[in-house]
Every structure is written in C-alpha cells, then in structure tokens.
Amino acid sequence: MNITVCAKQIPDPANDTSYDNGIIVRPEEQVLDDTDRYGIEVALQLKEKFDAEVTIISMGPAGTMKGLQQALQMGADKAIYVDDDSLKGANSLMTANVLSELAKTTNADIVIFGTESTDGYSGTVPQQVSRFLKLDCISYVKALEIGDDVSLTRQTSEGSEKVKMPPKCVISVTAGGVEPRYPNFKDIMAAKSKPIEKVELDKLNITTEQNLEFISIEALENSKNGETIIDEGEAFQVIVDKLKELKVI
Amino acid sequence: MKTLILGEILNETLSSGTLEIIKKAQDENLDYQVLTIGSDDAPKIGSESFKQTYIKRSSDSLQFSKITDLITNIINNEGINLILGSSTYLCRDLVSFISVDLNSSPVSNAIDFEISGDTVSTINSINGGESLYKSKIASTHALLLIRPKSFDPADVELIDNFETIEVESSDVSIFDIYKEEKTGPQLEDSKVVISAGRGMVDKENLVIVEELAAKLNAAIGGTRAIVDAGWMPYSQQVGQTGKTVKPDVYIACGISGATQHQVGMKDSKYIIAINKDEEAPIFQLADLGIVGDTLNVIPKINQNL
C-alpha cells in the first residue's frame, strides 16, 4: 500500500502572521503544521497494519526544511516537495493541483490530509485533490478502527457516521481524532538519513491559475476598553448585577 | 448575476446558514435559485419567491461525486456565475469539488461580498477576526464559502412544493450513523452562551458551568483545547473550526481567548470574561472582565441567582 500524506510548513504559529501584498510572509525556518500531525499519525497506524510506505508531499518555500524533518521524525519514510517562486500566494485550487500531481508521482493509494492548515485555513484542498484524482473523499475523519478492514468515523453536522475505507481514496483528518506520536531521540536521528527530494514544477501537469486579486488588509479595532475588576472575593456580585441589568435573569 | 445558493436542511427546514445567504441574495437583487442537498423525506424548503431544487441523497452511502456532477451540470447549463454556500462540512466539500470542475478557486471564510458589474469582490476575516482581507475574483465563476452569522436570516414562508432529484447510491456505504442528542438551548440561537476553556482545569468542573447555564437558560460551548481533550463533543466548539455565535450575552469561563476562539464569539453583544491571567487576550474583547479564578467565581454566582 502506498500512503501519501500532505504536510505543510508554516510560520511558527506562536508568532503573529504577517502579510506582504496579501501573501503570508514565510521565514527561512518554518515548522510542521500541527494539523498535519493528525494525518501523519493516521498514516503511520495504517503502515503498522498494512506494511505501507509513507511519503510526505509538500508545497511551498522549503527553507531549512525543519517542518519536513519533523514529519519524517514522526516516522514517514521519505518526502518530496515543490518549491517554485511562481507558486507564491497560490490559491487553494493551484495548491491542490500541485499536490495531486505529486500524489500521482507516488502512486498513492491513500492520500491523507489535515482538514485545514493553521496559516491559511481555506479547508478546501483535500476535497479538491480528491476531485483532481477522481477518488472518493472521506472528509473530517475523527476516528479510525483498523481491523481486516479500516472503518473511518466522519464528523457530520448532526453527529457522526462511519464508512469502510475504500482501497483508494483521499482522507482528511480532524484535530483531536487521533493522538499524534512524539518522536524519540532515535527517531530524530533516523530522520536525518531519510530522502527528501525536490520535484521541479515543470515536470507536473499544472492546469490552474491565480484567480484572486488582492485588494487590501484592514486591521479591525477589536479592543473594547471594557471594565476590568480584580476579584477579591466579591466580583461575582458585579456579574450578578450585570446579568440582572441585561435582563438575562 | 445568475446565482446558485447551495442549501442545507436542519430540522426538516432550511438551515439558518442557508437563510442568511438568501437574505443577502435578496438584498443584492441577485437572480438566484437554491439547490438544497439532504436526506430528509419531506422537508419544508420550497418557496413562492425562489426556485428550489432538492437533491435527495440516501443516508446509506457517500454520494459526493454524483452530487457534484449534478451541480456542475446545472451551473453549466444555466449559465450560473456565482455559487454561494455556508462554511459547513457539506458545503465546504461540495464547493471544493465544484471548484475543480469549474477551474476557479473558491474563497473560504468570506463574511461579506459585493458585486459591481460582472465582478465579485469578497471580504474575509483573517487572524481570528483581527483583520479583514479584501480580494477580487477574476475568473468567470465565483465560488464563496460564507461564515455563518454573516447576514441576518431571510424571513421567507417555506412550503413543501419543489422539484426533487434523487441521487443514485455509491459503493462507499455508510453505517453506524450517530446523531448527537440536542437538548436544551442550542449554541446557534441561544440568547446567552456560556463557554468553558482550559481554565476550568478538569472536566468534572464543568458541572458548575452546567448549573449556571441551567439558571440562565443558556447554551454551553467550549474552546478547541477542551473539545480536543474530549471534555465536550465537537458540536459545542466555538471558534474558527467550530461554531460562530452572536448571543446577547457571552460568558467566557477560563478562556484565554486565542484568535481561533475569538473569531467564533467576538461579535457577541455583551461579553463577560473570567480568567486568572490578567494578560489574557480575552479581556481585550470583554465588556466586563473579572481577573480571578473561574472555579471560585462561578459557584458564587450560582448561589446568588
């Protein structure tokens, strides 16, 4: 079984995101998007059962490749990526186009994603990739049970439902569904010798283009300058009085 | 501009997200029709004032690719340029699939849009609602995923008369359908919402929030952190990846106010925040901030209501 997992390198979420002409500014050192750890974990659980090879695919400025290393440290076997200036500020469809072409080069049976990235959070790329690859999309997976078959539990607006994982499909995994593993020292050392290969964009069949023109970013003034009270045991009374004034009680 | 609104069903009628987009379409005088996807047998989703087509799926198999084919066909045959859906599980999936067919990247997390001639411009909220990002769509088709509560819902009389298209089953069968029990006030429409965060320390402590909620007839929400920790079902998550709420009063208990959470609640009319850390970002949003231990303050409120 070939399993391909998409991993995105993003600016450290602990820092504020900054934009240049509508495009997220990416430092040399980016980290693995936490959202992708869930997808990688699902891939590794499948690998343990079905003896699969797990390939990481990624698009974006490679920089120090710290994020890709982090994905390999968890236990993926190798990584391939596209880093091309013409993709700067690529929309979700272009991104999905590139990633689905990369997935084709790995002969992927199962392609796994987090549901949405932490920096752009468009939340559409896994589904778009499935349509490009003409595969079923099992979206918002929040649990899996691996036996002879694999059953996937999908989050729905009303609750959840289970489906049997088809032999070929695209899966998106929600945060919290599985517990991503932490690499130990041995894993971290082993990752250093795993292959990371750059794929040139002109080797891929790209049929999409930019369709969104940036106009502006406006900061909102969210601060309300409300009243702040340090509780010395009686602050509850202020809330009770306020709830009465607001006619909530 | 010829417009297609992707509709969804909740409690056998159009979801509030769908009605909100219909309101915007009415206000903009768009030439719109609604295409609603669901599995109910006899929903009340038709109207005298717009064309409604019901795409009826079976609840026993995933039929996304067949539904997408149907929708793309309708868009092409009817010369539709603008496609609107709510940022929900279903619409996010469908709009993404359709975007590949139409070769037009969608705009996610839109909170408003305007139309001038043939051009659609969108506004989305970024950085957890701290900034607005404006862009113009240059392709023939414009696909927008709109955050719930961006517009007021339309006030339309719904009838049970509409065209229905049945979708064939697929070979990806669905089993073990689980419906989360919905009792008491719901997050989307409750006038008071009480949300809990990590500052509640332990799942067991949620009982004091539940007691307060019962006294105020409030819905209960939570942050992504506590939902991921399994304290609450996902359906109660408030924030970027959860629900957007706009109650009259929002009480944040032990919530620091990460941008991920803020985007789901910052438009509440009156915000009360209780948190130990006086530097917590939630206090920037609060009308009334109490710097103190939620676990001390809430039981005292409960005793005094």
pLDDT digits (tens, 9 = 90+) for A38-84: 999 999 999 999 999 999 999 999 999 999 999 999 999 999 999 99
Give the start-to-end residue ranges of the domains of chain B: 2-166, 192-303
pLDDT at B100: 98
pLDDT at B188: 86
Q: Tell me how far apart the alpha carbons of residues B3 and A183 are, in angstroms, rounded to a whole number.
A: 50
Closest approach of chain B CAs to the CA of A228, in angstroms?
A: 4
User: Which chain B residues are Cβ-neighbours of A217 within 8 angstroms?
Assistant: 126, 131-134
- Terminal C-alpha separation, chain B: 53
Confidence tier at A157 by pLDDT (50, 70, 90): confident
CB contact under 8 A, A163 and B64: no
Q: Judge whether residue B4 has pLDDT over 80.
A: yes
Helices A125-133/A92-105 angle, 10° precision: 50
User: Which chain B residues are Cβ-neighbours of A94 within 8 angstroms?
Assistant: 105
CB-nearest to B174 from A163, A226, A242 is A163
Closest approach of chain B CAs to the CA of A1, in angstroms?
A: 19
Q: Judge whether residue B172 has pLDDT over 80.
A: yes
Confidence tier at A107 by pLDDT (50, 70, 90): very high
**Lookup result for tokens 């949300």:** B195
pLDDT at B127: 77
Percent of chain B having pLDDT more than 90? 88
CB-nearest to B107 from A159, A212, A229 is A212
pLDDT averaged over chain B?
A: 94
Q: Judge whether residue B59 has pLDDT over 80.
A: yes
Residue ranges and CATH numbers for the domains of chain A are 2-203 (3.40.50.620)
CB-nearest to B64 from A115, A137, A213 is A137
Q: Tell me how far apart the alpha carbons of residues A97 and A79 are, in angstroms, rounded to a whole number.
A: 18
Specify the CATH number for B192-303; select among 1.25.10.10, 3.40.50.720, 3.40.50.1220, 3.40.50.2000. 3.40.50.1220
Q: Judge whether residue A168 has pLDDT over 90.
A: yes
Residue A5 burial (C-beta neighbours within 10 Å; 0-12, 13-18, 19+):
buried
- Residue pairs spanning A and B at CB distance below 8 A: 246
Read off the tokens for B188.
Answer: 């989307």
pLDDT digits (tens, 9 = 90+) for B81-136: 999 999 999 999 999 999 999 999 999 999 999 999 999 999 998 877 788 999 99
Which neighbouring-strand residues pair with B270?
A: B249
- Do the strands B192-196 and B249-253 form a parallel or antiparallel pair, or are they unpaired? parallel
pLDDT at B261: 92
pLDDT at B192: 97
CB contact under 8 A, B131 and A158: no
- Do the strands B131-137 and A2-6 form a parallel or antiparallel pair, or are they unpaired? unpaired
Say whether residue A147 is in contact with chain B using an 8 A CB cutoff.
no
pLDDT at B128: 72
pLDDT digits (tens, 9 = 90+) for A199-245: 999 999 999 999 999 999 998 877 788 999 999 999 999 999 999 99
pLDDT at B125: 84
Instruction: Say what the ipTM of the complex is.
Output: 0.94
CB contact under 8 A, A236 and B300: yes
Say whether residue A31 is in contact with chain B using an 8 A CB cutoff.
no
pLDDT digits (tens, 9 = 90+) for B132-148: 999 999 999 999 999 99
Residue that wins the pLDDT comparison between A157 and B158: B158
User: Which chain A residues are Cβ-neighbours of B63 within 8 angstroms?
Assistant: none
For residues B200-217, give the mean pLDDT.
96
Confidence tier at A13 by pLDDT (50, 70, 90): confident
For residues A128-141, give the mean pLDDT.
97
CB contact under 8 A, A231 and B126: no
pLDDT at A207: 97
For residues B246-261, give the mean pLDDT.
94
pLDDT at A194: 98
CA angle B197, B221, A41 (to 5 degrees): 70
CB contact under 8 A, A93 and B90: no
For residues B45-72, give the mean pLDDT.
96
- Secondary structure letter of residue B276 according to DSSP: S
> Do the domains at B2-166 and B192-303 have one common CATH topology?
yes
Superfamily of domain B2-166: HUPs (3.40.50.620)
CB contact under 8 A, B174 and A208: no
pLDDT at B240: 83
pLDDT at A176: 76
Residue A203 burial (C-beta neighbours within 10 Å; 0-12, 13-18, 19+):
exposed
Confidence tier at A16 by pLDDT (50, 70, 90): confident
Q: Tell me how far apart the alpha carbons of residues B221 and B231 are, in angstroms, rounded to a whole number.
A: 11
Confidence tier at B64 by pLDDT (50, 70, 90): very high
For residues B46-66, give the mean pLDDT.
95
